Structure 1
Amino acid sequence: MRRTPPRRPTIKDIARRAGVSESAVSFALNGRPGVSDATRERVRRVAEQLGWQPSTAARALSGEGAATVGLVLARPARTLGVESFFLQLVSGIQEALAARRFGLLFQVVEDLGAECAVYRRWWAERRVDGLLVVDPRAEDPRPGLLDELGLPAVVVGAPDGPPGPPYAAISTLWADDTAAMTSIIDHLHTLGHRRITHIAGLPELAHTRRRMACLRAEAARRELPDVRSVTTDYSDAQGAEATRRALTGPRPPTAIVYDNDVMAVAGLAVAAERGLSVPADVSVVAWDDSALCRNTHPALTSLTRDTPAFGRRAAEHLLSLLNGAPPHRIQDATPTLLPRASTAPPPRGEDPAGSGAPHGET
């Protein structure tokens, strides 16, 4: 049964609890003269106890809503400046919102706890009418929190494991990471690769876990022992370091799959630094297509999709929720592998059956 969202505290609530008039509360909270220091302190203490926050939008004060949706990203800030996927996603989101004269409030935080704190503050301040939630995790607390607060949301990406409980105003928009990873392994296996390393992203994200699980399953199905995943923070620095470790191991991979374009380009540089040719010595695949993938030499084989359109659809589904539409679980198109010059058969003399340590992750 749908819970009634908690009521936001008001100036009237503060006045009642503090035993003063509403005008005295207004004077105290706005730093205006007309109340004693003791009253000002009491009012501020009560406001903090009640969780009151000032409304920052005139539309919210009039009860019309904020005409704004929020997006919080709990990822290392240093990785975002060159993260083409999110730039394209946000451009599509903004395009859909602008058509309806809605704004986008965006914030980067250090972890999931901070992200939940931002949601509570935005709710208390009436800053947003709804939220776009990215990077689902295992046992993700965010949908339950947003349902408790009564904030409509679209979760971009499928949860890890079975779908969570239905919520009154939370939709999910997702693409099939497992099918996408399978298409990459099919391509590399057909070319003859048996030693494959996956330079993955953040290990706590649901889509990272699905990609790694798919890689394990495909390696087991094809009896490929030299297939493994290595997790990173998505940055070029960690992507480069993971590539160096892979290429200096006792049985280096003949193909490397990167979870974004930035790490793939960094991997190209590391291969060149070691005197290796791509794709003659090692093949390279990027998860997300971008201008970087198309304009490097050689151009990178990558998964391609219309990411701005993906963002537009996410925003449009959220706007529908704000208009009273029921929530839905929507599967978007699976990204398509686009072979380019960075993949080719492995070097001659490589053992097609493979051997060595069992497949796994590090």
Structure 2
Amino acid sequence: MRRTPARRPTIKDIALRSGVSESAVSFALNGKAGVSETTRDRVRRVADQLGWRPSAAARALSGEGSATVGLVLARPASTLGVESFFLQLVSGVQEVLATRRLGLLFQVVEDLSAECDAYRRWWAERRVDGVLVVDPRADDPRPPLLDELGLPAVVIGSLPPGDDGTGHPGITNLWADDARAMASIAGHLHGLGHRRIAHVAGLPDLTHTRRRVQSLRAEAERHGLDVTSFPTDYSETEGAEVTRRVLDSGTPPTAIVYDSDVLAVAGLAVAAARGIPVPDRLSIVAWDDSVLCRTTHPALTALVRDTTAYGRRAAEELLALLDGGVALRVEDELPRLEPRGSTGAAAP
């Protein structure tokens, strides 16, 4: 069902509720003389009750829109310092925004609740014309919220199962097939004789994590593999800790698939510290390629895609929405597996 976007409270609304003139409201909210302290306090209380925020666009010289799009990351800040995926994604976004002289308002928050609060605040203050949304989750509250606010958005990554995007008139979904990509990894390792495979995954509530886990399980059933997935926060600390745990098990895997380049490099370091040769006794695959994967020894087998182009396409789809286009569901190019020195035949 199409929802009617919520209406932002205005100075007129505050004036009606407070029982004063619009000019008095303006004086009170802007700290100007001309109203009593009692009136000023009453106006500010009403403004808070209505959820009013000063409009960033109204402060702009043009007064027409914010000329800005937003991006919020609800990830631990400690995991982003060496995360090449988001740097490349943002680079692609910026390339496109620059052609229209649009700015990018970027914020890192601690959780999904804080991300939703940021959208509400940006909408109330008219700070952004649209947003880019990453890391879709199961039972994700963000698409319904953006529908309610009427804030155009591009969700980057697969929506939750059962959500085909048609219920979100202002949201385009740009996604790549994580299930097929994971199947290509499983097929590669199976062809090399690997039967015991560990999967060091990312955050467990992310839609793409769940799709990867489910795909690997399906391939395990098809090929007769023994697979186990272990969630992490994407940090090198947890990547290393999980690697130590699986290598210390009674029947350690002969291959490990990591959900990021950072996790994979952390795992490679653990193997080296324990004197486990890669790939003679352990094969390693990284989900996203980066300079980290290409400069380790051995170089890491990885899924390769043009993440900068992915960011450009996301920004182009958002601009299309802002220009009055319709919301779409757009499948991006499938990442391809590039075998390198970190994968080889399973040890007998």
Deviation at 1:58, TM superposition (A): 4.2
Instruction: Return the offset for 1:53.
Output: 0.1
Determine the structure 1 residue equivalent to 2:277: 277
Partner of residue 69, structure 2? 69
Work out the CA distance in 2 between the residues paired with 1:100 and 1:51.
31
Paired residues for 1:213-362 under 5 Å: 213-224=214-225, 226-347=226-347, 349=348
* Cα shift at 1:137: 1.0
CA displacement at 1:21 relative to structure 2: 2.1
Q: Distance in 1 between matches of 2:227 and 2:133?
A: 32
Deviation at 1:345, TM superposition (A): 0.7
- What residue in structure 2 maps to residue 170 of structure 1? 171
Is the Cα–Cα contact under 8 Å of residues 10 and 52 in structure 2 kept in the other structure?
yes
Q: Secondary structure of 1:173's partner?
A: strand
CA distance in 1, matches of 2:167, 2:194: 42
Q: Amino acid of the residue matched to residue 166 of structure 1?
A: G
* Correspondence for 2:86: 86
Aligned residues: 347
Residues of 1 paired with 2:96 and 2:231: CA distance? 34
Q: What's the CA shift string for 1:83-111, capped at 9, x where partnerless?
A: 10011001001111111111111111111
CA 1:239–1:160 in 2, change beyond 3 Å: closer, same or farther? same
| C-alpha separation in 1, matches of 2:200 and 2:33 | 60
Distance 1:161 1:16 in 2: 45
Report if the CA contact (8 A) 1:175-1:331 is conserved. yes
The C-alpha deviation readout for 1:33-69, integer Å capped at 9, x for no partner, is 3322211111110000111001123476855111111
Q: Does the CA-based 8 Å contact 2:261-2:286 persist in structure 1?
A: yes
**Change over 3 Å in CA distance of 1:50–1:150 after alignment to 2:** same
Which structure 1 segments of 5+ residues have no match? 350-362
Query: Counterpart in 2 of 1:352?
Result: none
4+ runs of 1 displaced by more than 4 Å? 58-63
**Hey, what's the Cα distance between the residues in 1 that align with 2:123 and 2:240?**
40
In structure 2, C-alpha distance between the alignment counterparts of 1:133 and 1:30, rounded to whole Å: 33
Aligned to 1:353: none
On the 8 A contact 1:160/1:210 being kept in 2, the answer is no
Q: In structure 2, what is the equivalent of residue 120 of structure 1?
A: 120
Q: Percent identity?
A: 71
Amino acid of the residue matched to residue 43 of structure 2? V
Whole-angstrom distance in 2 between the partners of 1:60 and 1:106? 19
Unaligned 5+ segments in structure 2 are none
Corresponding residue of 1:108: 108
Aligned-partner SS, 1:324: coil
Question: Whole-Å Cα distance in 2 between the matches of residues 324 and 160 of structure 1?
Answer: 26
Please state whether the residue corresponding to 1:344 is helix, strand or coil: coil
CA distance in 1, matches of 2:5, 2:63: 16
Amino acid at match of 1:223: G
Query: Structure 2 matches for 1:182-201, cutoff 5 A?
Result: 182-201=183-202
Offset at residue 227 of structure 1 (A): 1.0
8 Å contact 2:2–2:167 — kept in the other structure? no
Q: Shift in Å at residue 159 of structure 1?
A: 1.4
Secondary structure in 2 aligned to 1:57? helix
Query: What's the offset of the Cα at 1:158?
Result: 1.0
Distance (whole Å) between structure 2 residues aligned to residue 324 and residue 59 of structure 1: 24
Offset at residue 273 of structure 1 (A): 1.1
CA contact (8 A) 1:66 1:129 kept: yes
Residue 227 of structure 1 aligns to a residue whose secondary structure is strand
SS at match of 1:89: helix
Cα distance in structure 1, aligned partners of 2:63 and 2:57: 10
CA contact (8 A) 1:184 1:337 kept: yes
- Following the alignment from structure 1 to structure 2, what is the Cα–Cα distance between the partners of residues 237 and 158? 27
User: Does the 8 Å CA contact 2:278/2:342 hold for their aligned counterparts?
Assistant: yes
Give the CA RMSD over aligned residues: 1.3
